[in-house]
Structure 1
Amino acid sequence: MDKTITNIIFSGVGGQGVLVMSDILAIVAMKGNYDVKKSEVHGMAQRGGSVISHLRFGDKIFSPLIPQGEADFIVSMEKLEALRVLNFLRPNGIILLNLCIIPPLGVLTGKEKYPLNIEGSLSERGKVVSIPALEIAKSLGNPRAGNVVMLGVLSQYLPFSPLLWEEAIKERFPKKYHSLNLEAFRKGREFRGK
């Protein structure tokens, strides 16, 4: 495996499992013998506020923070949240975008408008892979597994075996949720975007 540094930004809103995604990838990368650093930024996460996690892995990582313009991937659980972190993406980086809209408070109160054509704005900076993660998770019986669907899609781009991912998922979730989350991961891994 090539052990150059890989930089990933996870984003979404409170309750979407953003931090769980970064936890699982951190476990996977450590099991893959990489040095891993991560950092979290969450404001009013429990009230639907922005949640962002920086995760870096490679031979030797000195800082958990990804400099602007250096993220290889953005994995976003919500469209507007992807736009908020777009400045971190390197030119021609990859954006894994859950097709989910959760209007922020300003939009709900009518003080702001939800931006139109977010995917178009994102595609000016990188390759956008649109993923109906919520719909896939609902088809499995639990919409909360959308974050693990997204990890399954991400796993297609990273140098780790599916077995490492599945071990990390089992390590991160209680046993009663193993079956659901393993199936969500597999569905994401099978997903082929445009």
Structure 2
Amino acid sequence: MRLDILIAGVGGQGNVLASRILARAAMEAGLPVRTSEVIGMAQREGVVMSQVRMGQGDYSALIPTGQADVLLGLELAETVRAINKVKKGAVVLANTATIQPVSVSLGLATYDTRQLTAFLQERTATLHLFDATALASQAGTFKATNMVLLGALSALDLLPFSADHLQSVVEKMMPPRLLPINQRAFALGRQAIGGA
């Protein structure tokens, strides 16, 4: 079995940490894994795209266009931007929260949330759309949005390891002071998708 996961967002959302957690979980489960990250020019709020490929076979760290099995979208517009990377029938978990670019703040561009949402609904066979940032804030900080999405992913039985295994890796990789918030965020993500 092989699973290709694409994570799209902007700087400061924990995209890279989420990809490293998935990669470590795969390694600890005895699976070959390769990762790649593209980080935008700005450290905060620049485009960030991570790719995690796990399972047997010969393959590079880059997911070919139209071949990702799963897309985790930390930010709505970045989810739309990455949609061409997923295969037909892919599962998309998308955060409805937005981080509007400077061009929108300056009045040079628009950010139409309804249009972006409609685009995703038209282009995606299996779409789980919810406000992951609000759930992260409920857990203790909006910065745990990545953990909400990892929890949601773990509830879908797509990963080649258990939700408990993924959560144990989260617990190993978090500083002790941040662990309770991230555990709550993970659990809220699972609940958002109907997991226990």
**Residues 21-64 of structure 1: per-residue CA shift (max 9 Å, x gap):** 11111111111211100100011242311000011101134201
The question of whether the paired residues in 1 share the 8 Å contact of 2:35 and 2:53 is answered with: yes
1:141 match: 140
1:44 maps to amino acid: M
How is 1:171-190 mapped onto 2 (pairs within 5 angstroms)?
A: 171-190=172-191
The question of whether the paired residues in 1 share the 8 Å contact of 2:139 and 2:182 is answered with: no
- TM-score with structure 1 length normalisation? 0.92
1:122 match: 120
Residue 18 of structure 1 pairs with residue 15 of structure 2: yes
Structure 1 pair 20–123 and aligned structure 2 pair: CA distance change class (3 A): same
The question of whether the paired residues in 2 share the 8 Å contact of 1:15 and 1:45 is answered with: no
The question of whether the paired residues in 2 share the 8 Å contact of 1:37 and 1:61 is answered with: no
The question of whether the paired residues in 2 share the 8 Å contact of 1:119 and 1:128 is answered with: no
Q: Report the number of matched residues.
A: 190
Question: Hey, what's the Cα distance between the residues in 2 that align with 1:99 and 1:124?
Answer: 16
- TM-score with structure 2 length normalisation? 0.91
4+ residue runs of structure 1 moved beyond 3 angstroms?
Answer: none
The question of whether the paired residues in 2 share the 8 Å contact of 1:13 and 1:45 is answered with: no
2:120 maps to amino acid: L
Ranges in structure 1 where 5+ consecutive residues have no aligned partner: none
Question: Hey, what's the Cα distance between the residues in 2 that align with 1:20 and 1:192?
Answer: 21
1:191 match: 192
2:162 maps to amino acid: S
Q: Secondary structure at the match of 1:102?
A: coil
The question of whether the paired residues in 2 share the 8 Å contact of 1:92 and 1:125 is answered with: no
RMSD of aligned alpha carbons: 1.5
Q: Secondary structure at the match of 1:166?
A: helix
Deviation at 1:110, TM superposition (A): 1.6
Question: Hey, what's the Cα distance between the residues in 2 that align with 1:182 and 1:59?
Answer: 30
Deviation at 1:124, TM superposition (A): 2.2
1:150 match: 149
The question of whether the paired residues in 2 share the 8 Å contact of 1:14 and 1:44 is answered with: no
Question: Hey, what's the Cα distance between the residues in 1 that align with 2:42 and 2:163?
Answer: 30
1:181 maps to amino acid: N
Percent identity over the alignment is 36
